[in-house]
Amino acid sequence: MRRLLLAAVVLLTGLAVWPSAATAQNSSSEVTASGRDGFADLKVTVTQTTGLINQTVRIRWTGGKETGPVGRLATNYLQVMQCWGDDPAGPTREQCQYGGLEAQNGLGLGDYTRSRRIRLSTIVDPAEKDPPAPGAYLPFRSVQGETTTSFGKYFDGGTTNEVPFAKTRPDGTGELDFEVQTALEAYGLGCGNVRADGPDQGRPRHCWLVVVPRGDTEVDGRKPGVDHTSGNLDTSPLSQTNWNARIAVKLEFQPVGRACPLGAVERSLTGHEFVADAMARWQPALCADGGTTYGFTQVPDGIARDLLVQEEPGMVFVADPQAAGDRSPDRPVVYAPVAVSGFAIAFVMERQSRGPEVEPDPGVWIQDGSPIADLKLNARLVAKLLTQSYRDAVPGNQPYLAKNQRRLNDDPEFLDLNPEFKTFGVLMNALDILSPSVDLDATTALWTWIAADADARAFLDGTPDPSGMVVNKNYQNLSLPLPNFPKQDLSCRDVPNVGPDCALLARPLAADLHEAGRGISRGDTLGKSPNGLPDPADPTKPGYSRSPRQPVGERSMLAVVDTATAARYGLPTAALRNASGNYVKPDDAGLTAALGQLSATDVPGVRRANPAAKAADAYPLPSVTYAAAVPAAMDTRAGAEYARFLRYATGPGQTRGEATGQLPTGYLPLPDELREQAADAAAVIERDAGKQTTAPEESQETTAAVVKPKPAPAAVPTAAPAPAAAVPPPAAAAKATSTVPVAALRDTPATPVAWVLRYLLAGLLIAGGVATAAGPVLLRLGGRVRP
């Protein structure tokens, strides 16, 4: 059964494609552009404009005018969007992704400033050459050539990256993290698609970031609140007069798809998500100029470990080593550290005071909408967030939560640690932590950290916290550690004339760490809410729509991510309380200190996170990714090519930067000790590839580059995930390198496709309150956009 399962995993995940780079980019590509005419003093800086993938870029500006009137997004703000276009002068307004948020409330004033409507009944733009009829919408023209006012097929409120209201502070400055989208997330823009013809054939399509500054005057010259009946701007940024003030900055994307030649023989690399962003940078550098193609497939740690007993495992990435019961005397496993990052709780929190109407101090409310950069969390607070213990985290005013705080920012324990939220968190609605559905070794470490804290463990066992808050009864006496994040309260409430509002639909799990990080950066809970309409697939059941996103300036969300994902989406990370009582962030200093506190495993040289480390400056949840290989299961050529990968990844690949082949932000470069260990492992893989190795225990190498099996299974530490049942080792004879794609190197399961689909969908179901998450996760396929 397990062999069939693994075949399905590799067969399906091997089809994934991802953005990657074919040419080197500068390590710094910041661009500053100036406004024009009435906005001549405005200067907008985009911090990265080349080597882009689906990520956020920081936008900063100076020389603007204060958004107002006080406390209101009525005039003097920026509107930001992404567009496509081949003209060096910039895109046309029809080529811009804008208008998807028109129907969403809570984004600011002026409904039509969020739309593509370029003619209102009471306002006529004199700059429009052919005045459209009242209510007319500007059509969207896609990169595929379609021109349509039914632009929902290309973008909508759930997928668009537009920002209709970006606030300028009283000193004329502002900042924004803006998500840039590739062709995978924004099909109609096509950013990064490789051009098939023309003078730029073979090069990725560039796109544009467009900023439309808005002043205090409408397109017809009237001023809101003076001679214009509305107290705010009403017209779209795409109305011609507004569009004429645009600032356009060209964006260069990495090519979407495969950076390496199609049809080339691939070396299989399979493993956990913590190495995914690094692999996206390393792959094209390794296959350049006829080099080896290394195909990466993202799967949970446990699935990667299971591959080690298969006939041709290739190389896998894991945090914890293979279980003792799965080791074979004829197949010693070699481990090499390749990446250091951290398991983190990222957040996006933007100041929300009581506003100028009730807040007497202007020094307070003028900061509304600006980001909060620092957050402290202890293990009990994290336990509360992960167990649906805040009252509003479960619909229906459940009686077992009646005495609990409604949300995190009402919790006295949280406010004592983060006093800024007493002033700036009064309108926030942080309820839980958006968490991934996949099983991860790092998740086991996080739960171990929680269980090791006496206050958190007592809370989970039913002891109230000092304010009287109790754990959600569905989680009481939770057995820890776990490799996943259970959703054990499935309560629903009935909304009259609409339908049931259920906890799992409203606050679901994310597919993986990247979806969680991207979700909160967009203000997206990934949830759905009843819409009062029948389900199109089954009219006898109620229908659901995506929950509205929290608008920029009003976001308050948390997510479990790796530090590379946090950096990619511009997310700050919380300082967690370590065993010495200090709050430490997963920055370079915290991760470096944590490396010195790692716990030994029963495999020499392979160490794991030690959440109980007493070092004062150590972050409690570091993550070391190990590449694991079985030299006896590969031929000499494969051994040489896997050794080459290790030497690159742990050598030139440890240089930080945005360029092809470099290490993305969010990873800590390997210290010399780990680089030396990886070099020793590469040498052993190259030396022993294709050789049958049966060595007595006393000959075990002390360098820990090669792990020889023990004669009897060793005790598995408490923090390790329980190993799957052992599979008898296959024949050890090495095979010649295959000339077929990696997706076809495994046995195809002799079972119906429906069986495979049922298994994959199991990761989305809840059985006994615990999420099953053994299915594969495709690497950045389609931007992980939910239906």
Shortest CA distance to 432 belongs to which of 482, 480, 377?
Answer: 377
Shortest CA distance to 518 belongs to which of 39, 177, 117, 112?
Answer: 177
| Distance from C-alpha of 348 to C-alpha of 343, rounded to nearest angstrom | 17
Query: Where exactly are the structural domains of the chain?
Result: 21-256, 261-717+759-787
CB burial of residue 196 (10 Å; 0-12, 13-18, 19+): exposed
Tokens of 612: 């109980």
- What stretches in the chain show pLDDT beneath 70? 1-27, 71, 106-107, 258-259, 262-264, 693-787
| Distance from C-alpha of 430 to C-alpha of 419, rounded to nearest angstrom | 16
Q: Where are the alpha helices (DSSP H) in 1-120?
A: 2-13
Question: What pLDDT, on a 0 to 100 scale, did the predictor assign at position 472?
Answer: 98
For residue 374, the one-letter residue type is: D
| Distance from C-alpha of 36 to C-alpha of 265, rounded to nearest angstrom | 53
With contact defined as beta carbons under 8 Å apart, do 179 and 55 qualify?
Answer: yes
- Residue 19, C-beta contacts closer than 8 angstroms, at least 6 positions apart: 53, 54, 182, 184, 192, 253, 254, 255, 256, 257, 280, 780
Task: Report CA torsion sign: 683, 685, 686, 689.
Answer: positive
Question: What pLDDT, on a 0 to 100 scale, did the predictor assign at position 259?
Answer: 66
DSSP, residue by residue, 631-699 = GGGS-HHHHHHHHHHHHHHTTGGGSBSSSTTSBPTTPBPPPHHHHHHHHHHHHHHHHHTT------GGG
> How, if at all, do strands 207-213 and 247-251 pair?
antiparallel
| Distance from C-alpha of 191 to C-alpha of 86, rounded to nearest angstrom | 11
Class of 261-717+759-787 in CATH: alpha beta
H/E stretch holding 761 reads: helix 753-761
| Distance from C-alpha of 191 to C-alpha of 186, rounded to nearest angstrom | 8
pTM for this prediction: 0.84
Tokens of 431: 């309820």
Tokens of 304: 């990667």
Question: φ and ψ at 63, to 5 degrees?
Answer: 80, 15
Q: Give 185's Cβ-side CA count (13 Å radius).
A: 24
Residue burial 245-264, b: 16+ Cβ < 10 Å; e: rest? bbbbbbbbbbbbbbbbeeeb
With contact defined as beta carbons under 8 Å apart, do 61 and 45 qualify?
Answer: yes
- What are 2-53's pLDDT values in tens digits? 433 443 433 333 333 333 333 233 347 999 999 999 999 999 999 999 999 9
With contact defined as beta carbons under 8 Å apart, do 521 and 179 qualify?
Answer: yes
DSSP, residue by residue, 529-583 = EEEEEEETTEEEEEEEEEPPPPPTTS-EEEEEEEHHHHHHTT--BPEEE-TTS-E
Tokens of 546: 């995506």
CB burial of residue 636 (10 Å; 0-12, 13-18, 19+): middle
* Bridge partner residues of 78 (DSSP): 166, 213
| Distance from C-alpha of 501 to C-alpha of 493, rounded to nearest angstrom | 5
Tokens of 648: 């690159």
Tokens 């939770």 belong to which residue? 478
Q: How long is the chain? A: 787
Tokens of 294: 């290394």
| Distance from C-alpha of 112 to C-alpha of 513, rounded to nearest angstrom | 35
Tokens of 136: 């007319």
Shortest CA distance to 548 belongs to which of 140, 105, 142?
Answer: 105
